[in-house]
Every structure is written in C-alpha cells, then in structure tokens.
Chains A and B, each alone.
Chain A
Amino acid sequence: KAGVTQTPRYLIKTRGQQVTLSCSPISGHRSVSWYQQTPGQGLQFLFEYFSETQRNKGNFPGRFSGRQFSNSRSEMNVSTLELGDSALYLCASSLVQTRTAEAFFGQGTRLTVV
C-alpha cells in the first residue's frame, strides 16, 4: 500500500510570495498532521486535520494555514513568506485520531525562501 506522499519535494520561493504544499495520506487514514523541521528545533507541530476539520493547532502565526478535503488529502499554505520559513515541512497520517495511533510520515517538502 502506498505511503504518505508529499508534493513537491523541493521548492524555492522569494520573500513575500505564498506557497501551497500538498499531502496525500495513506489510503484509509483520516487524520493528517503537519510539522516544520528546522535545524536545532526538531519537529514543531503546525496543525492537525481530521474529517476535514482542524482539530489542533500549534504555535505558529496566522500566515500558516491548511485544509483537508473529503478524500483526506491535505494542503498547507504559507502566505507572505519570510526567510525564517525555510525548513523541511513534514506531513503525517494516522488511521484514527487517538493518542496511541501510529503516525506515518512522508518524505517532506524542502522549502527554501530567498
């Protein structure tokens, strides 16, 4: 069965632009979470979607937003890009929304803001 697919794998954007990243979860998985990974900061939780609704949100500014579609695919949008937004953005999917649910990660999208 196919894993979590994130597109694109690499992206270069200019300050002030906006960007949309896509995540296709494992078939049947309904929970999708997004994380930002930067050197020294580890993975920081952005938000989680379940059944097309945002269930949890991390401590990021409103420039970071997301949505989930009826087929569980999710998109993440960052507006007015800043240099500090350069990071690896990881998406994880889980079958259900429970604390013990195993999360499966995609390979990530490497965003570089210049």
Chain B
Amino acid sequence: DQQVKQNSPSLSVQEGRISILNCDYTNSMFDYFLWYKKYPAEGPTFLISISSIKDKNEDGRFTVFLNKSAKHLSLHIVPSQPGDSAVYFCAARYNNNDMRFGAGTRLTVKP
C-alpha cells in the first residue's frame, strides 16, 4: 500500500539549473510533509518540511511547495550543485511520529 509515491526514480540536471523533485500522496489524512536526503552508506538526513496549513516553505536554496487539492508536493533546488547529488525521499505524517516514505528519486547534478 504505497501511500506516498515518487514516480521518477532518477533525475539529472546541469549545475546551476533548477532541480524539481515531485511527490504524490493518496491519504488525505497526511498533514505534515518532509524531505530527506540520503548519501550512500549514510542514513537519511532531514532537509525541509511543510505543514498542510501552508503551501510553500523556503530554506535557502530549497523550497517545498504543497498542493493539497492535487495531493502533490515538490522540492525545488535552485541553483543545483554537484554536492546535491543524492537520493531524495519524500515523507508524510498524520499520526504522531511514524513517517510514510516514497521510493526515492536519485538526483545527479552534472558539473
């Protein structure tokens, strides 16, 4: 039962350009959304989050957009840097602490 979906397994962008990672969810009970970044041989690290009462949250080069009616969120990275190359996971919560994750999108930023 995949309640959170990341339909693009991979994305490749040029350094300096915008990276847009997408995520869809099916459970309308979700009211808090997070993005995690994962490098090989490391655990995921928290990147940015957004509450369902907002439609945008910005933190430096990272912006998360939430479209509740479409049950869709996206992560924008501007400008993209080679160090951003990693697997990005979208996650959602509605019940305390457990998170439902998507399958991840592998971002490659080319110099």
Contact = CB atoms under 8 A, between A and B. Distances in A.
A42 interface: yes
B101 A55 contact: no
Which 10 A-B pairs rank lowest in CB-CB distance, beginning with the nearest?
Answer: A105-B43, A42-B103, A43-B101, A56-B98, A99-B32, A42-B101, A99-B93, A105-B44, A45-B98, A97-B97
B1 to A, nearest CB: 7
Chain B interface, DSSP helix/strand/loop, else mixed: loop
B31 A99 contact: yes
A94 B98 CA distance: 11
A97 B96 contact: yes
Given A42-B103, A42-B104, A59-B1, A99 B42 contact: no
Nearest to A47: B98
B95 A56 contact: yes
Given A31-B97, A45-B101, A90-B44, 16 more contacts: A33-B98, A40-B9, A41-B103, A42-B89, A42-B102, A44-B101, A45-B98, A55-B97, A97-B97, A98-B97, A99-B32, A99-B94, A101-B97, A102-B49, A107-B42, A108-B43
Given A56-B95, A98-B97, A107-B43, A42 B6 contact: yes
B18 interface: no
15 contacts: A40-B9, A42-B101, A42-B102, A42-B103, A42-B104, A45-B99, A55-B96, A55-B97, A56-B95, A98-B97, A99-B95, A99-B97, A101-B97, A107-B43, A108-B43
A48 interface: yes
Contact of A48 (B1, B6, B98): B98
A108 B31 CA distance: 27
A114 to B, nearest CB: 21
Nearest to A108: B43
